[in-house]
Structure 1
Amino acid sequence: MNAPVKPEGFSRRELMVGAAVVGGALVVGCSPADLMSAGSKVEVGAFGPFIRFEPDGFVTVISKHIEFGQGSHAGLAAIVAEELDADWTKVRVEQSPANAKLYGNGALGAQLTGGSSAISNSWEQLRKAGAGARAMFVEAAANRWNVPAGEIAVKDGVLTHASGKSAAFADLMADAGKVTPPQNPPLKDPKTFTLIGTDRVRRKDAQGKSDGTARYTQDVHLPEMLTAMVAHAPKFGAKVESFDVDAARKVAGVVDVFEIPTGVAVVARSTWAARLGREALAVRWDEAKAEKRGSVEIAAAFRDLATGKGPADQKWESFGSKGDVAQAAGRPDDGKNAFEAVYEFPYLAHATMEPMNCVAIVDGNHVRLVHGSQGQTLDQLNAAKIVGTLPGSVEVETLFAGGSFGRRATFTSDYVAECVHVAKKVGGGKPVKLVWTREDDMRAGHYRPLVAHAVRVSLDKDGLPATWRHRIVSQSIMKDSPMPAKGVDQTAVEGAMDSPYLKATPIVDAQVAFPEVGVPVLWWRSVGATHTAFVMEHTIDQLARKAGKDPVEYRRALYAKAGANRHLAALDLAVEKAGPTAAAGWARGVAVHESFGSVVAQIAEVKLVDGAPRVGRVVTAIDCGTAVSPDQIAAQMEGGTCYGLSAALYGEITLTDGAVDQSNFDTYRVLRIGEAPMVETHIVPSTAPPSGVGEPGTPVIAPAVANALLALSGQATARLPLVRSV
């Protein structure tokens, strides 16, 4: 591909970077942030990229992270407002433009919201931004009033002096903007926080989402905008062979029909016309290179691999090895001190409330994207490659999104790239809105991988694990990614690799295999922990039963042996808050798991209703470091628990001859409102920096429920979901 034409005003260096992006080369001396932001014209105000002061007295906090329901905008604003001593009622939040150099996620190396890192990676950055701006106002006031800066107090956006002088931020804005920002402003002692950690930190987007003024992609209506839909192959990897152009063009409102890399696009003057035109295409597909296996066959192959019956040439990678692993290799024959289990997990859909959609405008070398972008940098890079331009010349207006759970951040920017391909073909700078239906995303999206685990454990004289052999078989999420894994793909082994149970076991032999399968996979809320938490926690309950010990006391002994003090504190808090016993007819199950830097302990109360599990009360304890917004942490624990319970009970994507069977919520069952448990959330006190909250509540509920069922019936759970029929 040729290098992009040099747009007016661009430097030679920017042109070199653009050529590198398009051609796939690297420019020596160019940082990744420079590369990804080349061509961007984002301007930064006097108070830095994260804060803007308004003449009406309001403070606008610029968020580099998308708000798609997790409540991070309020938490990010509170961090700034705390150090700034702003009036919380006069703080607004605005989404940042796309620019990796200014707004990159320090934990991920790109502008990307994920890994439950929105608050944690912004903690120090935004504290310094708020403290720095405060110092600039204090100095401006000191100069105006001719008093020492140390004598000036700031509260609720007003600066005061003992002499009686006072001024609001708006009054001093011009003078403060001329002060040189401090490089390392002093930060508050957390003991003096008046906003962070209080229930005053409530969502800033609730009003707009309640009255309908909040903007989502479907709310975007631009002059001359066209709507597009794409016909996707029913089997992954199939290619277009032929289609009926004339039949589609006969549909009233259809403007154009053409092939793009992922299928056939129908462009129309309305969504309905685009849909009818797509139905008229009669596409024939070349399935020579398509994935034709069903999920039953794939699961059987994975199970065989995990249990040592697969191909001898399958590559295995170690994610844990210590002691004499030969002792863990042999099949234990002492029934009293030996344990073996195989666990299986299906593909899962993200099933976001808002399906995928995007608006794109391609005008020469400039691209404008308007949608709920979870990975602005990825979208910029992929759009730039399609159009042949600089990444920074791809402008991204990030809107609210109705959920993601990982779905909106693919390495290929799948639905965004489709929209750009269509807008480029349409040309003329006309806006195009690409619409995916629920069926499109359910059948042509990306999924949590299908996974198999095989575990073999022998116990010592005290009933604790002496040897632990672990095999995981999964597709690799990070394969062919622009952010290649260093060493083993941790998205498949996290939660097992760093488990305190393995730390407490003298001999460990843990390996993972990544067979090739043509089904597209992606991170799904809590990623590897979606299956590793279940395997580790359900195994531990079964080991406790084999050892004749209480599951809680058994965990306490292992945590003590592993030095897992945070796990112990979370477990103790959950046990304390749960009380001594469950109500009559209910059984309790416990599970504890660490993910994204946070430790969550849950106690689930479960009973059987017509043979199916019904979850009533869930007591949750979380250690997530400094609790910026306790109310939002509780909301995330509630939502994460229900999301995880939905998958545990019903979640399953199946394939028949390579085609996905499910299409909508009638066949992909999700938790109903009446099935949602009562979730109590308790936060372990901590002064450590914040850690993840959005995902850690999801993986713990499934093993907690399975352990309650084990207590009820004595039967272990080897496969999810727990309820197989819809």
Structure 2
Amino acid sequence: MTLSTSRRGFLKGATATGALLFVGLTPQGALAAADGPAMLNPFVKIGSDGTVTAIVKHFEKGQGPATGLSTLIAEEIGLRMDQIAYEFAPSNPEVYNNLLFGPFQGTGGSTAMANSFMQYRQAGAAAREMLLQAAASDWGVDASELSIEEGMVTGAGNTAPLGDFVAAASALEAPAEPRLKDPSEFRLIGDPSIRRLDSAIKVDGSAQFAIDVFLPNQMVVMIARPEQRGALAMSFDDSGAQGIRGYIRSAVLPNQAGVAVYAEDTWAALQARNALEVEWDLSAAETRSSDEIEAEIRAALEEEPTYNVGGPDAAATRAAIDGAANVVEQTFYFPLLAHAPMEPLNCTIEQTEDGRIVLHDGAQMPTGPHMAMAEIFQLPMDQIEIRTMLAGGSFGRRATPDADYQVEAALAFVMTDRTRPVKLVWSREDDLRSGYYRPAFGHKVRVGLDEDGEIVGWEHRIAGQSIMKGTPFESVLVHDGIDHSSVEGTADSPYQIPGAFFGLTDTEKATSTLWWRAVGHTHTAYVMEVMMDMAARAAGADPVAFRLNYLTGEGADQRRMAGVLRLAAEQAGWGAAPADRSQGIAVHKSFGSYVAEVVEISGNAADGVRIERVTCAVDCGLAVNPDIVKAQMEGGIGYGIGHNMRDRITLTNGAVDQYNFPDYEPLRIGDIQRIDVHIVPSAEAPTGVGEPGTPPAAPALANAIAAASDLRVGTLPMDENGVAFV
């Protein structure tokens, strides 16, 4: 299914599949309950008191879809933002699938607004027309004379709250082609004063995150996991845990991936787990250390790439570079990185009196755990319910191909008599030492320039650990042997670079790899933008002008990327920084959005760098909620800069060295003094904003450091490779 789903097709599909979900489907197609609120379609619920609820199919981990999708419905119906509430959709991919993922319900890839924009507008418009038709019939007027403003149906000399017409509207046929409002009619979409619907509950503490779930008579389970990936639990001795108050018992998980430790509360489970002695089978475990992994990746960069990702024959590119007047080259290395969300992983499982299984979870991709639960408990899908909760961040961690932590909870629960709910809790140390990681990657790039400073060849070798290979996503996301997540942002860059060759070599995975905020763009953008800067300076050209030279033509990619580049430079006062400051710039396209960033620093690499200001320009199409767009740019910038300043995951004989925030330090509030975000006005369809702020951030900082210190940081993190920060 694609984003171009027609309004007629959507509404027919909505009413047809609704019969699977909602009791009281009327013959005409509206979803209604005799005594409860009407489900005018799977995305809009309206009570007889006029309360409108948006059914949000994308979970909320801080990125804003609960507000964004509610805004679309409120706009089309004719409501104020304080007149709409939201709730998360149940797990049902037939109705709530991500239109860009196929028959799969999930949140990721910065797709929430991109795939739901028309869908939720159509849902709101259909609900509006049904309410107006009901009111017109009641008042004996033509529906074209009526409108809904701030929740009131008005026109033809009449005014009444929309709740008066809910019952009658639920008996009507859903319109096949509801009229969508013209952008000139928008009152909410694009309004920078609109604030998040979930802010108040997060401020006053009433928001319920997954970790806040506390069910009567629940047990807490923590898993003793091996230090090395691939080790298996053979046996355990819990004699040291027996005397801990609240300890219940321990058991080896059915898949031998760990030992489940059950207790009355989290503290008892943690203490008992620490007292446990486990015998591990290390025969199939990872035993390499980080220096060996890095050496393997660097060695792969010296060999001919396995896959041609894009461009002419490598030999032709190499010959052009060898004959160039000037050659610049650099080798880069990117370490493993943890996601490190503020809320550690957790979920809770219970069994109801009628035998159904209920999973309470910050479910980023509910279809995966839903299918896993069905297999583990040997139940049909409709006997399993997933209740999606708020999550305190994710950055990709809550969306694993194998539903890892949900499976842990299910296996721990299936080993009990199921009379008590089981809450799985990961500690911060678990998250850093036993999680999934942004894979390690290396790049080697050579760029040839002619006498005029023009690029004549660009040879770009990439080597690293594939995310998709060996997972259920391989058949869909790996083509001709190439995992696109390893190379995205290189051969498909909007830059029109002559004689460019891009090659990829896969290396063995050192641990469990996973998408990380912006996925492959986190390393490809760094390399592309640092190399563009190096080439510009070798050519004696201004870095902005040099980039613009390769963004010419009438293509939308080139036009829009050049637009944000110019805007960021203008707003940052490019080239006019105070004498004691230096600037660096980077621009990148990811997830359909174009982002340029200028980082302005004081100091230098040797004496200490201080990030004084980041100026960001973003073209994400129509900005539904500008305040959220700005917040996501700010968060993405901080995430990209913070991790590249000082973070890495290292292994010693296969075991992760880092334990907690003291040795895997997140961004501090004082690390960046100021961030300014400028949104390009646009009538284009909305694109992603959750991730695109991250890729240009670190290379813009690296280019500023180079401008101040003539130091090119090729191996990350920066503070381990010649850069001091103050």
Partner letter of residue 100 of structure 1? P
- One of 302, 307, 319 as aligned partner of 2:309: 319
The 3-state SS of whatever aligns with 2:48 is: coil
CA distance in 2, matches of 1:180, 1:42: 16
Give the TM-score of the pair, scaled to structure 2.
0.91
Q: Distance in 1 between matches of 2:637 and 2:224?
A: 35
CA–CA distance in 2 between the matches of 1:295 and 1:698? Answer: 25
Q: Deviations over 1:640-678 (max 9, x none)?
A: 111111012012111111110001001112221111331
1:9-52 deviation per Cα after TM superposition (whole angstroms, max 9, x unaligned) = xxxxxxxxxxxxxxxxxxxxxxxx99xx9997555544111111
SS class of match (2:693) = coil
Per the alignment, residue 215 of structure 2 pairs with: 222
Q: 1:481 to 1:463 in 2, by over 3 A?
A: same
Q: How does 1:533-548 map to 2 (within 5 A)?
A: 533-548=525-540
Q: 2: CA distance between counterparts of 1:385 and 1:330?
A: 56
Is the contact between residue 324 and residue 448 of structure 2 (CA under 8 Å) also seen in structure 1?
Answer: no
Secondary structure in 1 matching 2:70 = helix
Amino acid at match of 2:661: F
Which residue of structure 2 lines up, in the alignment, with residue 377 of structure 1? 367
Q: Does the C-alpha gap of structure 1 residues 518 and 705 become closer, same or farther in structure 2, counting only changes over 3 Å? A: closer
Q: In the superposition, relative to structure 1, how do residues 41 and 148 fare at CA in structure 2: closer, same or farther (>3 Å)?
A: closer
Provide the rounded CA distance (Å) in 2 between the counterparts of 1:718 and 1:532.
12
Moved more, 624-633 or 386-395: 386-395
Q: Which residue of 2 aligns with 1:270?
A: 265
The one-letter amino acid paired with 1:117 is T
Q: C-alpha distance in 1, partners of 2:711/2:274?
A: 48
Question: Which residue is 1:349 aligned to?
Answer: 338
In 2: Cα distance, 1:356 partner to 1:529 partner: 25
Query: How many angstroms apart in 1 are the aligned matches of 2:509 and 2:188?
Result: 49
Displacement of 1:267 in angstroms is: 0.6
Greater mean alpha carbon deviation, residues 566-575 or residues 710-719? 710-719
CA distance in 2, matches of 1:307, 1:38: 56
2:655 is aligned to 659
Letter in 1 for 2:498: P
Q: 1:97 aligns with which of 61, 85, 90?
A: 90
Comparing 343-352 with 253-262, which one deviates more in the overlay? 253-262
Is structure 2 residue 104 aligned with structure 1 residue 115? no
Aligned to 2:28: none
Name the structure 1 match of 2:620.
Answer: 624
Q: Which residue of 1 aligns with 2:130?
A: 136
Distance 1:506 1:319 in 2: 15
Which residue matches 1:638? 634
Aligned counterpart in structure 2 of residue 305 of structure 1, from 300, 304, 312: 300
> Given the superposition, is the C-alpha separation of residues 297 and 384 from structure 1 closer, same or farther in structure 2, using an over 3 Å criterion?
same
Deviations 1:87-112 (A, max 9, x none): 32211111111111111111112111
In structure 2, relative to structure 1, the CA distance for the partners of 1:98 and 1:465 (3 Å cut) is same
What RMSD over aligned residues (CA atoms) do the two structures have, in Å? 2.1
Judge conservation of contact 1:42–1:99 (CA < 8 Å) in 2: no
Superposition deviation, residue 459 in structure 1:
2.0
- Equivalent position SS for 2:462: strand
CA distance in 2, matches of 1:114, 1:332: 39
- Which one of the candidate residues 599, 608, 613 is aligned to 1:604? 599
Partner of 1:19: none
Indicate if the aligned counterparts of 1:362 and 1:420 stay in contact, CA closer than 8 A. Answer: no
Q: 1 CA distance for matches of 2:381 and 2:369? A: 9
Q: Could you tell me which amino acid in structure 1 is paired with residue 524 of structure 2?
A: T
TM-score (norm 1): 0.91
Query: Cα distance 1:152–1:40, how it changes in 2: closer, same or farther (>3 A)?
Result: closer
What is the correspondence of 1:76-95 to structure 2 with a 5 Å cutoff?
76-95=69-88
Distance 1:385 1:462, change over 3 A: farther
Deviation at 1:242, TM superposition (A): 2.5
Aligned counterpart, 2:434: 444
Q: CA deviation at 1:157?
A: 1.4
Which of residues 126, 141, 149 in structure 2 aligns to 1:147? 141
Unaligned runs of 5+ in 1: 1-32
Equivalent position of 2:424 in the other structure: 434
Work out the percentage of aligned pairs sharing the same amino acid. 43
Q: Note the 1:221-620 alignment, pairs <5 A.
A: 221-260=214-253, 261=255, 262-308=257-303, 316-322=306-312, 324-330=313-319, 332-333=321-322, 336-362=325-351, 366-484=356-474, 485-487=477-479, 488-501=482-495, 504-560=496-552, 563=555, 564-580=558-574, 581-608=576-603, 611-620=607-616
The answer to whether the Cα contact below 8 Å between 2:322 and 2:448 also exists between their aligned partners in 1 is no
Distance between the aligned counterparts of 2:236 and 2:21, measured in 1? 42
CA distance in 2, matches of 1:686, 1:416: 41
Q: Is the 8 A contact 2:442 2:464 kept in 1?
A: yes
Letter in 2 for 1:646: G
Q: Secondary structure at 2:164's aligned position in 1?
A: helix
Alpha-carbon distance between aligned partners in 2 of 1:677 and 1:699, rounded to the nearest angstrom:
20
Correspondent of 1:671 among 667, 674, 678: 667
**CA–CA separation in structure 1 for the residues paired with 2:554 and 2:337:** 33
The answer (yes or no) to whether the contact 1:152–1:161 under 8 Å persists in 2 is yes
The more displaced of 508-517 and 128-137 is 508-517
Map Cα deviations across residues 593-623 of structure 1 (whole Å, 9 max, x no partner).
Answer: 0000000011110122663322111110000
Give 1:273's aligned amino acid. A
The answer to whether the 8 A contact 2:614-2:675 is kept is yes
Q: Which amino acid aligns with 2:433?
A: R
Residue 212 of structure 1 corresponds to which residue in structure 2?
205
